[in-house]
Amino acid sequence: MTIRGIRRNGIARGAGAAIVLSVTAAALVSCGGSSPSPADPTVGATQPAARPVPTAAGVDPSISRDSEDGGKTVNLTLDDGPDPVWTPRFLDLLAKHHAKAVFCVLGPNAKAHPDLLGRIVDAGHRLCDHTVHHDTAMDKKPADYQAREILDAKDMIDQASGGRPIQYYRAPGGAFTPESRQIAAAHGMRPLGWNVDPSDYQRPGVDTIVTRVQQQLAKGPTVLLHDGGGNREQTFQALEKLLTWFDAQGYHYSFPKA
């Protein structure tokens, strides 16, 4: 049976009903983590050796968007880093406002900048696995490919961070599948969605980013922003304004449920 995830606000719905993954179907495999490439990484791939599925008791495979804390909260998430130019600036800005965030990092970027992973965790922020190649069509790929994307990135992040906890997994573009959610949960990572998406990566303008976040917060507390993947000056300036606004409006900073 073919299962296709449907992306919308970080939510995936499978065409099947209940889906049970066996060790074989999960196909949790390793291919050694290569650098991102515009070419389809599934082309010409050799069959890797399978690795066993661990048990992560208590990790929910459903997509998390709600806050751990009650009250008036906001969950900040920053994708596609760590970036040697932008991530330090975002860390300094967050520290200035005593704000916390989840950093959804790409495996190769983590491998290239282990010092930034240390800064992220030491400052009290959390890590999220955002795959190796940032393939927004991975929900249309086989389960073993999804497993490699998730678990090769996890290996890179583990090695770069010295084994610091990775609480979440976020599919690029929200391309979750029932398989990928189960794979992540089996390795201790809660699938992470969002409620608020201002499309800051498109650089629509600082004020537009700010307004979109403010208007969409009625949907829920988890905000999707980016500290990597290009010039993030607009996002940085928008977050600077938003942090001041959050403080003035009485929000407190929380994390999504893990």
Among 79, 83, 139, 158, the active-site one is 79
- Dihedral angle, C-alpha 75, 126, 11, 61, nearest 10 °: -130
Active site residue 197: no
Identify the domain containing residue 195 by its residue range. 60-253
Instruction: Assign residue 205 the CATH number of its domain.
Output: 3.20.20.370
User: If you count them, how many residues does the chain have?
Assistant: 258
Compute how many other C-beta atoms are within 10 angstroms of the C-beta atom of residue 58: 9
Domain assignment present for residue 37? The answer is no
Domain assignment present for residue 10? The answer is no
What pLDDT tens digit does each residue of the chain (258 aa) get?
Answer: 333 333 333 333 333 333 333 333 333 333 333 333 333 333 333 334 444 444 455 899 999 999 999 999 999 999 999 999 999 999 999 999 999 999 999 999 999 999 999 999 999 999 999 999 999 999 999 999 999 999 999 999 999 999 999 999 999 999 999 999 999 999 999 999 999 999 999 999 999 999 999 999 999 999 999 999 999 999 999 999 999 999 999 999 999 999
CA dist 38 → 16, 101, 107, 133 (Å): 31, 29, 16, 9
Active site residue 83: no
The three-state secondary structure class of 249 is helix
Among 125, 130, 133, 226, the active-site one is 226
CA dist 146 → 67, 138, 181, 200 (Å): 27, 6, 10, 26
Structure tokens at 34: 């290569």
Domain assignment present for residue 167? The answer is yes
User: Token match 């606000």: residue?
Assistant: 9
Q: How many domains does the chain have?
A: 1
